[in-house]
Structure 1
Amino acid sequence: MTRPRPRTRIQQKNRETILAAALDVFSQQGFRGATLDQISEAAGLSKPNLLYYFPSKEAIHAELLDNLLDIWLQPLRDLDPMGEPMTELLRYVRRKLDMSRDMPRESRLFANEVLQGAPRIGAQLNGPLKALVDEKAAVLQEWMDDGRLSAVPPQHLLFSIWALTQHYADFDMQVRAVLGPDHDPFDEAGAFLDTLFRRLLAPDRSRPPSP
């Protein structure tokens, strides 16, 4: 079997340029609204040149989503069952908030795909993502059963973390319009979310853990 030839430095650079440009376009226009002409213009490459690297808009979008999902799930993978529960949860919240600050385009790309019914990542959501959430929900439930965290539905706890952190990326313009130019929403959000989840999850020491 003939192995594919390794990409040259220029080829790799052009692929990265196309993907970065496509991320801008898809995060603003959504998959349906984005066109190859828009992507090639944003990349500063001709459309035939773009098609040399990617055969279609779908191929570009699929590669972006594949790369994103791996990055997006890493903070949850890193939730350590052997760690101190409150520390692990608050670290997870902070990492998700930092990703919204540093990767707003990626957050909007993911949100747009899910809002459209996840036609291109449905298998990943029902497969690897669900398996990971089930695994970590079991860890959270064990911590709660041991009285180390207040008892709340663990999957809904994760949903609330996703919603409260990704809101700052997906609704950035609204957040900044409401807060005004003199506020850094992420500084304030970090302190607020820390307090919110610390109070929500602080164990009730007057109640014995479940047997």
Structure 2
Amino acid sequence: MGGGRITTNTTTASNTTPKKVMVVVDPTRESAAALQYSLSHAVIDCDEVILLHVDNPNSWKNAITTFLKRPNGGPANTATPTDNAASDAGGGGPMDVDFLKEMKKVCKVARPELNVRTARVELEGKDKAAMIMAQTKALDIDLLVIGQRRSLSTAILGYKRAGVAKMLDTAEYLIENSNCTCVAVQKKGQNAGYLLNTKTHRNFWLLA
């Protein structure tokens, strides 16, 4: 396990410059974990939170369908679509934005003082990591948070090929190349805490 400390929050807002925190979201458990971490550990009330979804028109609707059909509706206290959103999925159109609305609602319930907004962009020929990096620069983001699903192969095979800084894992690429601090989040069980990765801290364990 990594040592040291990852400092992404402060205890008071009175003497702190507000920061912009971008959370990469989609309808997955990993995004729910990233949002939970952000709300509980990475932001204070004066901050602005931007929920960014990168839309891949060719694949993301299939991911939503899979997400909504998972058993038992997922774990409690996670940023997931509501039953009403699930019932709308069969109609096509409403589901396109409902999960973003639900995640924003989760933020406002958990942290009413936060300024929360959503943003949605299409890949437009770029890969996901490049699009996220472009948005962090355009919006002058201070902290980027992304959910991460790491397997043994991802950990071993994350490398640069042919001199091009392109990691096999989107989160790893953003950690190494983002112009702002990037935190990749893995939730380790409902109450077990988080495993965090940044450019300077690897496999850092943080209790929930």
Asked if TM exceeds 0.5, the reply is no
Higher helix share: 1
The higher radius of gyration belongs to 1
Q: Which has the higher strand share?
A: 2
Q: Which has the higher contact order (CA 8 A, sep 6+)?
A: 2
TM-score by length of 1: 0.27
